[in-house]
Structure 1
Amino acid sequence: MSDRIRDDRSQYPRLVPLTTRWGDNDVYGHVNNVVYYAFFDTAVNGLLVEAGVLDIAAGPVIGLVVESGCRYFSAIAFPERVTAGVRVARLGRSSVRYEIGLFRADDAEAAAQGHFVHVYVDRGTRRPVPLPEPLRGFLGGLLPAASEPPPP
C-alpha cells in the first residue's frame, strides 16, 4: 500500500459489495472509522466462508488478527453504496496479509485503503499452524498477479 497514491478498482482481484447502515454515521455525518475495519473483516471473511475454506463455527483452524491499519482519503456516508476490493499482499506459512480498498458508489479511486494480517492457528491450542491447502489455494487467487492476464 503506497504512502500517497490511492489505489483504483483494477488493482484488486475481487470486489465485494457492502451496505452502509444508518447507525454507521457518527456525529460528524460520515461513517465512523471503526466501521471501516468492520467492512474489512466482512469483505475478507465473507469471501473465505463463501469459498468454503473457512468454517467460523467449527473449523479446526481460525484466523487471528495480529496487525491492522487504514489510510483515509475521502469520507463515506450512509446511504452510499460501498465496494471493497480485496487482494492478498503476502502469503506466508501460517499468515496472510490482506489489503482492502473501499470505494464509494462507482468511484474509481479508493476512499480508504487498509490492511490486516491473519495468523492462522489451531482453534483449541491457539498455536500457529500451516495454512490448509484449500485455504492457501483460494488465497493464491487473490494475489495481484492472479488478476493479470497470462503472458502471450
Structure 2
Amino acid sequence: MARPLLPPTRAAFGAFRALPTRWADNDAYGHMNNATYFALFDTAVSLWQMEQGMVIDGPDPTRFLVVENGCTYFAEVGFPEILHAGLRLAHLGNSSFRTEIALFRNDADTAAAMGFFAQVHVDASGRPSPLPDSVRAALSTLAT
C-alpha cells in the first residue's frame, strides 16, 4: 500500500464502529502499541461482518483468511480516547476483497491511522472459493 500523502477524512468511509481504548493499549511511550491497531482493525471488520449476517465462527462459518495487511500512522492515539473505525471497500474480486479501516480520534474528522486487510474466502478444505452473493452484496455497501 503506497503511503497516502494526507490522512483520509470520515466522508470517505461508509460504515463506522466506536471502539474505546483501554489502559493496557498504551505502551511505555504513552501511546497505543502498534499491535493494538491490528487488533482494533480486526475487531471492527469482524463486528461489521457479523452485523451483516456473516457467521464467522461455529460449526459452519463463512471462512475468510487474511492474506495481507498493513497500517499507515498519521497521529498518535492512546488511552483514554474513543476511536471510531471507518470501513470502506478498496477491492472486490471473485474470492477476495480488501477492506480499508481508518481510525479517527474522538470527534476528529481526519484519520490518525489507516490500515487494510486483504481477505480470501475459502471452503472447508482451505481452498479459495467464490464469494457468496450475500457476502458480495454486503461488501458492496462499503464501496465509496
| Structure-1 residue corresponding to 2:68 | 67
Q: Aligned partners of 1:93 and 1:15: how far apart in 2? A: 25
Residue in structure 2 matched with residue 56 of structure 1 by the alignment? 57
Q: Which moved more, 1:51-60 or 1:9-18?
A: 51-60
Between the aligned partners of 2:74 and 2:140, the Cα distance in structure 1 is 28
> 26-35 vs 48-57, which deviates more?
48-57
TM-score (norm 1): 0.90
Q: Secondary structure at the match of 1:65?
A: strand
Give the superposition deviation at 1:2: 5.4
Distance 1:73 1:12 in 2: 17
**Residue 129 of structure 2 corresponds to residue 129 of structure 1:** yes
1:143 corresponds in structure 2 to: 143
Contact 2:89 / 2:143 at 8 angstroms: preserved in 1? yes
Secondary structure of the corresponding residue to residue 10 of structure 1: helix
Cα displacement (A) at 1:60: 4.4
Shift of 1:131: 0.6
Paired AA for residue 31 in structure 2: H
Query: Conserved in 1, the CA contact under 8 Å of 2:21 and 2:83?
Result: yes
Q: CA deviation at 1:58?
A: 2.6
Q: State the alpha-carbon separation in 2 of the partners of residues 76 and 57 from structure 1.
A: 34
Deviations 1:59-88, CA, capped at 9 Å, x for gaps: 343110000010001111101010000001
Match of 1:34 in 2: 35
Relative to structure 1, the CA distance from residue 107 to residue 85 in structure 2 (aligned partners, 3 Å threshold; closer, same or farther) is: same
Q: How does 1:1-152 map to 2 (within 5 A)?
A: 3-122=4-123, 124-144=124-144
Residue 131 of structure 1 aligns with an amino acid whose one-letter code is L
Q: Is the 8 A contact 1:54 1:135 kept in 2?
A: no
Q: Which moved more, 1:59-68 or 1:108-117?
A: 59-68
Contact (CA 8 Å) 1:53, 1:138: kept in 2 or not? no
SS at match of 1:3: coil
Cα deviation code 1:64-113 (max 9, x no counterpart): 00000100011111010100000011110000000011000000000001
Distance 1:59 1:50 in 2: 17
Counterpart CA distance in 2 for 1:59 and 1:101 is 30
Shift of 1:57: 2.0
Counterpart Cα distance in 2 of 1:93 and 1:25: 39
TM superposition shift of 1:50: 1.5
> Where in structure 1 are there 5+ consecutive unaligned residues?
145-152
